[in-house]
Amino acid sequence: MVSIRSIPSEPGSLSTNDLPWVIEHREDRCTLCGKCAAICPVNTLKLTYMRKRMPKLVLSSSERGSSYKTFVGIRQNTDPARRCIGCGSCAMVCPNEAIHPVHNETDRHRFVNTKGGQAPTRGGRRNVPGPNLLDQISFNRISMLTDPALDAGRHEFYMNTLLGRVLPPEEYLRRQAAGEWIPPVREIFPFIIGSMSFGALSPNMWLGLLQGVAYCNEVLGIPVVMATGEGGCPPWVLKSPFLKYIILQIASGYFGWDEIIRAIPEMQCDPAAIEIKYGQGAKPGDGGLLMWFKVSKLIARLRGVPEGVDLPSPPVHQTLYSIEESVMKMIQTMSMAWNFKVPVYPKISGSNSAKSVLNNLVRNPYASALMIDGIDGGTGAAYNISMDATGHPIASNLRECYLDLCAQGKQNEIPLFAAGGVGKNGNVTQNGMALIMLGASGVHMGKFIMQSAAGCLGSERNRCNVCNIGICPKGITSQNPKIYRRLDPDKVAERVAETFMAIQTEMKKVMAPLGRSQSLPIGMSDALGINDKAAAERLNIRYVC
Amino acid sequence: MCRLAMKTANEPFSPYSILTAMEAMQEGYDGSGLGLLLRGLSFTDYKYNPEDPILSGIAHSEEALGRLHSMMNERGFVLKYDHEFDLDLSKIEAKDRYKYVLRVYKKPSAWDSLGKEEIEHELMMARLALRADGEAHGGDLTAFSLWPDVVMIKEVGWPLEVGEALGLQSGRIKSRVCMAQGRQNTNWGINLYACHPFFIQGVATMTNGENTAFIPIKDWLTGKGYPGYIGYQSDSEVFAHILHYVTKQLKLPLQAYKHVITPLKNNELAAHPQGTFLRGLRDVCRRLIIDGPNAVIGTLADETTILVMDAKKLRPATVGGKPGEWAIASEMCGVDAMIPDRDKSKDFQPMREHTIIIPPDRQELVIWSQFDQFPLNQAA
């Protein structure tokens, strides 16, 4: 059978109705200004001339025909690589509200999104919309009559947490008396800006974050810290007094560490901590990835690499391939680099084996914490399969580790930090406090901060999620100055401050009804309830209905 | 909210006088339990040597009493005095009280070579063994304390009725220190072990209010693996255990208790002469920070008495008295009922930074503030 070429129907052919986002355009409102087509980050929009035929019905049989008219309309590209990503930039710039993307449930493009044998990749996080488990947890131990609920507006609340190895009390007293080394401990706000590398984020974004964090610390008195992710830090930041708000990350690519090591003699202060990344929740078992689109001159300079090349970190490195190597070498090496005055801790992907890692850390005198990143964590670039299906949810993973520490009586010695989907649906404080009461000393949030502080458009319905190719319509994750100049660092800083002020107020509104104000309620699992019997049993909290 | 009354005096007095004082505060308890702890004992029908350990508890059946007897014998304890209460069981709600145990023993001769701490450990282990045995037999044996110069009585019911049921009005038992608590049940089931005061190795505390930070504190204490840190039928038991941990295990001075349960704020520590040390102490004992609302009244083995509050001060407590005789109660009317002839203008309600200490000489109150220098005998 010979195919009929005149009908454009190949196996990979798509119509607009097969795409995840369909552009709705109202010709009657459109002024043909072209702003939508100009701003579209994926160039999916084309203004095209279209021809319209109007049959003319004339009663006299000698005259028949049609009248023809041309007009300018919008055409949507159906190539999966240039499909509409639903970011809505067109709607944002349209002077007449004539255009906007509409989510299409009958999305069929995912079946053919493998052109040239390329498995699909994106930024963002797991595409599972709707409430996650953390959203279902409620705080039930309300102080009623037997103990009074507190006044969130007037009481003083202590909400900070500790990052660093905390000695057992007996050992602390012994070392104090003997004048021996006491491990460094930082008192920080329990909501931490998660690791996002300065290569993944645009200069305006990380500058805005850093300004906001400094404002929170120095003006608002909220001791917020931010983690950099792999890829170093600009030398001027390393030599600035703002370094004390930064958690520097070292990972398998060692990117950016030449600059960091060179800057050590000139540092005015120590960093908040050093995070050794073994894995992340969004793509466990993968190294970091910065695609060539984003390796600009500045990033190449920071990382010590040529411009415009892909930078995939290996999943492991000679010095990072096993827990023994890690605790014996990396943690000690990093501690030594800063004279044992900076907490050093590993970050791992949520995994069934997290408890084994933890127990190795417990026996190392320098390990300062353990950070576990769950399956709902976000990332700048990963294969869809890694993001959607690989990893371990954070709640049960964290809970297991915490209860294991409790059984050993070491829950105050190694703080656990949790991440992966905190604030996924906007309930950042509720999610974070739930994790804290399950046993976390603090939580990291990356995607939420991008959404809250910089207006990131990404969602779990595969909206936007083009962080990987440097065309971020908001200028958050692009290294192209024409794009990132859209983002004003001062405005980001303002939003960072507003976000943390709001989180602080919400924390009080959670703690006050529980009658807690004197310390962060870490592990206060008696306050939690969930309307899911199986989850309640697994997390060892109360089932409520 | 429970009601607390504690009196300490140079002259021994009958615990019944404290129970009558409790009546002044009777709207504050629900009859779910009474707990008494007596120190500095004297019996009318026995000359007691304060070195000898006293076992307090309840045998709920003859068989349980037999087991108790043989367990003590096996450990080498020699019975010197078995106090028979003038019982009127009709006034007791529970129907399974075979014998209220108050027995004075001579320490096992095998302990002669042991040091003070080892003896204290052995006493605790013996008490825990009795408790475990009772629990293994359906709760037919309850052991409250096994310690020199300490008697504990716990029973479900109204304080005055319980006192009369045990014949305490006869004045056969007197003591220099008496702690009493009328319970308002805010926990779970009604359980004898949930009655205050709580006791471990000579350290005892009782509390009003509810301990909102109970679970994290309990998890931490349990994780220490120390055999005495068990039970927790009441959320207030952790206060006794923290006091024990601070004074007996960390061997810190009594004033450190307050620094552990309600540490100072950062700016206060920055101005404190030992701020660096105390900040470190706050970090390492972070899980023991209480969140109230509680007033905690405690006594130590040397008859020292303390009163502390949580930082929010949402539960009441007052101390008053005169040289040689002091009373602490959760309500002012309780102090009035115990020591009516005192100078009321000198009564004191501690603020968030205070630890009230009544030393064994009972001459005057020590009002110690957290902002004061910390009496630490080491380079801190």
Query: Tens digits of per-residue pLDDT, A207-265?
Result: 999 999 999 999 999 999 999 989 899 999 999 999 999 999 999 888 999 999 999 99
- Residue of A142, A145, A146 to mutate, interface with B, max B Cβ within 10 Å: A146
Residue with tokens 């003319």: A56
Query: Which of the residues B265, B286, B370 would you substitute to probe the A interface, choosing the one with the greatest number of A C-beta atoms within 10 Å?
Result: B286
* Residue B130, both tokens: 């009795």
CA distance B102 to chain A (A): 34
Q: With contact defined as beta carbons under 8 Å apart, do A187 and A154 qualify?
A: no
Amino acid letter, residue A55:
P
B23 in Cβ contact with B160 (< 8 Å): yes
pLDDT reading at A338 higher than 60: yes
Question: Among B277, B284, B291, whose Cβ lies nearest the Cβ of A518?
Answer: B291
d(CA A27, CA A72): 9
Of A155, A407, A526, the CB nearest to B223: A407
Tokens of B23: 């009546």
**Spans in chain B with pLDDT lower than 50:** 188, 379-380
State the pLDDT at residue A64: 65
For the cut 90, the answer to whether the pLDDT of residue A391 exceeds it is: yes
Nearest to A506 by CA among A139, A133, A131: A139
Does pLDDT of A56 surpass 60? Answer: yes
Is the CB of residue B1 less than 8 Å away from at least one CB of chain A? yes
Q: Between B277, B283, B292, which is nearest A185 by CB? A: B283
Residues of B in Cβ contact (< 8 Å) with A141: 212
- Buried b / exposed e along B76-90 (16+ C-beta atoms within 10 A): ebeeebebebeeeee
Q: Are B185 and B2 contacting, i.e. CB atoms less than 8 angstroms apart?
A: no
CA distance B348 to B364: 12
**Predicted local distance difference test score (pLDDT) of residue A55:** 82
CB–CB contact A516 B220 (8 Å):
no
Residue B347 near chain A (CB below 8 Å): no
Structure-token match 């209905």, residue found: A545
Q: Collect all residues with Cβ–Cβ distance below 8 Å to A103 and sequence separation of at least 6.
A: A20, A21, A86, A461, A463
User: What are the backbone angles phi and psi of residue A188, rounded to the nearest 5°?
Assistant: -130, 165
Verify whether the Cβ–Cβ distance B213 to A524 is below 8 Å.
yes
Over residues A467-489, the mean pLDDT reads: 96
Chosen from B207, B210, B212 to mutate, greatest number of chain A CBs within 10 A:
B212
Q: How many Cβ atoms from other residues are within 10 Å of residue A153's Cβ?
A: 9
User: Within an 8 Å CB–CB cutoff, is residue B380 touching chain A?
Assistant: yes
- The region that residue B329 occupies, defined by phi over 0 for left and psi between -120 and 50 for alpha, beta otherwise, is beta
Q: Give the residue among B257, B144, B133 at the shortest CA–CA distance from B194.
A: B144
d(CA B353, CA B360): 22
β-bridge partners, A487: none
Yes or no: say if A46 and A25 are a contact pair by the CB < 8 Å rule. Answer: no
Cα–Cα dist A385/B155, whole Å: 64
Which chain A residue has the Cα nearest residue B214? A524
Mark which residues 209-238 of B lie under 8 Å from A by CB. Answer: 209-210, 212-216, 219-220, 222-225
Task: Read off the pLDDT band of A319 (50, 70, 90).
Answer: low
- Which range is least confidently modeled, A107-111, A416-420, B287-291? A107-111
CA distance A484 to A476: 7
**Closest residue of chain B to A412, computed from CA coordinates:** B287
Q: Establish if A158 touches chain B: CB-CB under 8 angstroms.
A: yes
The answer to whether the Cβ–Cβ distance between B281 and A172 falls below 8 Å is yes
- The pLDDT, as a whole number, for residue A95 is 96
Query: A409 vs B224: CB contact, 8 Å cut-off?
Result: yes
Cβ–Cβ < 8 Å for A132, A376: yes
Structural contact between residues A434 and A402, judged by C-beta atoms closer than 8 angstroms? no
Label residue A44 exposed, middle or buried (CB < 10 Å: 0-12, 13-18, 19+): buried
Q: Determine which of A412, A433, A539 to mutate to test the interface with B (most B C-beta atoms within 10 Å).
A: A412
| Residue type for position B380 | A
Instruction: Check CB contact under 8 Å for B379 and A176.
Output: yes
> A541 at the B interface (CB within 8 A)?
no
Q: Which two tokens stand for residue B104?
A: 């004075």
The single-letter code of the amino acid at B199 is: F
* Chain A interface test: which of B266, B268, B284, B377 (most A C-beta within 10 Å): B284
Percent over 70 (pLDDT), chain A: 96
Q: Are A179 and B186 within 8 A, CB to CB?
A: no
Please say if the pLDDT value at position A116 is more than 70. yes
- Interchain proximity A518–B310, CB inside 8 Å: yes
Q: Where are the alpha helices (DSSP H) in A286-393?
A: 297-303, 323-325, 331-337, 354-362, 384-389
DSSP of B134-187: HHHTTS-EEEEEEEETEEEEEESS-HHHHHHHTTGGG--EEEEEEEEEE----S
Distance of residue B377 Cα from the nearest chain A Cα, in angstroms: 10
Query: Nearest-CA residue of chain A relative to B248?
Result: A170
For position B380, what pLDDT does the model report?
43
What count of Cα atoms within 13 Å lies in the side-chain half-sphere of residue A9? Answer: 3
- Whole-model pTM: value is 0.95
The answer to whether the beta carbons of residues A195 and A506 sit under 8 Å apart is no
**pLDDT: is A72 or A283 the higher one?**
A283
Size of interface A-B (CB pairs under 8 A): 111
| Nearest by CB: B289 against A169, A187, A519 | A519
